Amino acid sequence: MLDKAIHKADALIEALSYIRKFKDRIVVVKLGGSLMETDQNQRKMLTDVVFMAAVGMRPILVHGGGKSISAAMAKAGIEPQFIQGHRYTDERTLAIAEHVLVREINQKIVATINDLGTHAMGLHSLSSCVLLAQRTHLHEPDGRQLDIGLVGEITEVNAHLLASLCAAGTIPVIAPIARDRTGGKLNVNADTAAGMVAGAVRAEKLVLISDTNGIYADQNDPESQFSRLNQQQVQHFIENGIISGGMLPKVKACLTALNAGVGRTHIINGNFPHSLLLEIYTDKGVGTLITTE
């Protein structure tokens, strides 16, 4: 019993230097993966976020919800279509996505944080929207333009509002539905949104939470995980196909954040107990750290 207590005390002492270092610093956390599908796991992760706020950090949350959107579309008899990794989004699909992301996921996250004793505010297309975007235009290799509907790429983030909320001790919770300059709505990628938000507020860190421990040299070899990479290494792995598929938008979000002045970016597994706290407040971490050098 005493050994266990001493171990806990050692962990607190190890965390102390990080708590001091990151006091009043903004950390952007993107919630995604199967974490979004389980209320119990989501509450555990949000408890860690509330802990971060309690010890002086200023978290900003960005969340996804792709699986829930697909499930809602299936229930409505709509088959999802993906073009170059983007969900084709017509008016009906956008309405479903907005309902799932805002009315279900965002409101639940805000309510849970408030229930845990910290104030949160939902920022989305049905209230205060901090994401401004323009229509995304994709092309075939021969130059022909592809129609992917109401999908956007972020052009601006309301960093002033986010900084003001953080300074007031409120946790912003951002749903990835953006507005365009005419007031229309656009579906945006949550990983990309998180990277843009982190850069706009000059965050200390960007942490992307998913279902993988990070980046691997070989996806079939659990021992090949990279604990740390720099931008040059990441770019090399992208060009050589080592980083591809669903990991690609996450890594590109990290590069976007780093290029905008964010100190460090992380990709971690949200299904690992207290992975967020372990990545931020311990020497070794549990995921893949991506830095500028």
**Residue 65 in contact with residue 99, Cβ under 8 Å?**
no
Q: Is the pLDDT confidence value at 13 over 90?
A: no
CA-to-CA separations, 107 to 60, 111, 267, in angstroms, rounded: 15, 6, 25
Condensed to tens digits (0 to 9), the pLDDT of residues 217-269 reads 888 888 899 999 999 999 999 998 889 888 999 999 999 999 999 999 999 99
Kindly give, in sequence order, each residue whose CB lies less than 8 Å from that of residue 12, ignoring residues fewer than 6 positions away: none
What token pair was written down for 148? 């992917």
How would you classify residue 241: left for phi > 0, otherwise alpha for psi between -120 and 50, otherwise beta?
Answer: left
Condensed to tens digits (0 to 9), the pLDDT of residues 24-75 reads 999 999 999 887 778 888 999 999 999 999 999 999 999 999 899 999 999 9
Backbone angles phi, psi at 203, to 5 degrees: -65, 155
Q: Is the pLDDT confidence value at 2 over 70?
A: no
Name the architecture of domain 24-291: 3-Layer(aba) Sandwich (3.40)
Q: How confident is the model at residue 97 (pLDDT cuts 50, 70, 90)?
A: very high
Condensed to tens digits (0 to 9), the pLDDT of residues 169-223 reads 999 999 999 999 999 999 999 999 999 999 999 999 999 998 888 999 888 888 8
Query: Which of 55, 7, 33, 39 lies closest to 280 in space, CA to CA?
Result: 55
| Sheet containing strand 152-157, strands side by side | 152-157, 131-135, 177-179, 185-187
pLDDT at 65: 92
